[in-house]
Amino acid sequence: MPFDESVLAKFIASMSPHMALLRLDVLSISGGVCLAQLPYSEELVGDPATGVLHGGVVTSLLDTVGGAAVLSALGEPMPLATLDLRIDYLRPSTPGQSVRAKVECYKKTYNIAFARGVAYEADEADPIASMAATYMLRTQIRRSESA
């Protein structure tokens, strides 16, 4: 893992404190690809009657892991912000299972990075949700220059 773990943990907590509280575990991160897992927890369950994860958890997970993938592609700490995010929800999650997200930063320019990935339980080929997102890089500069 090319990142100092404390840098990565701080990054994730700043992108999504909810993810940090839920103990998001980064399983691997290198070359612009991040794989992370959210351990099972009662707090992840949207509807107690069905045990299905609530959608906001999956969305936040994909957004956060996408930001980590971009950080990995950049190879250096840098302020970044999600510019836009698209999530397609493919099926209900399986009750009681932890959920993984695998996101790849597949393109970067000077001030934009593009990422795509999936959330799933045991099998990456049977995803719960699919995501495509863009992240704005060097956001401190952007804000001061905004009109």
**Interface positions with a copy of itself (CB under 8 A):** 14-19, 43, 45-47, 54-57, 59-60, 63-64, 81-92, 106-112, 114, 116, 127, 130, 132, 134, 136, 142-143, 145-147
Least separation in angstroms between residue 110's CB and a copy of itself is 4
Residue with Cβ nearer a copy of itself (2 or 147): 147
Are 62 and 129 within 8 A, CB to CB? yes
Amino acid at 128: I
Distance in Å, CB of 82 to a copy of itself, minimum: 5
**DSSP character for 45?**
B
Nearer to a copy of itself, 5 or 10 (CB): 10
| Shortest reach from residue 56's CB to a copy of itself, in Å | 4
DSSP 108: E
Cα gap 88→2, rounded to integer Å: 31
- Tokens at 61, concatenated: 């997970």
Distance of CA 26 to the CA centre of its chain: 10
The distance of closest approach from Cβ of residue 90 to a copy of itself in the complex, given in angstroms and rounded to an integer, is: 5
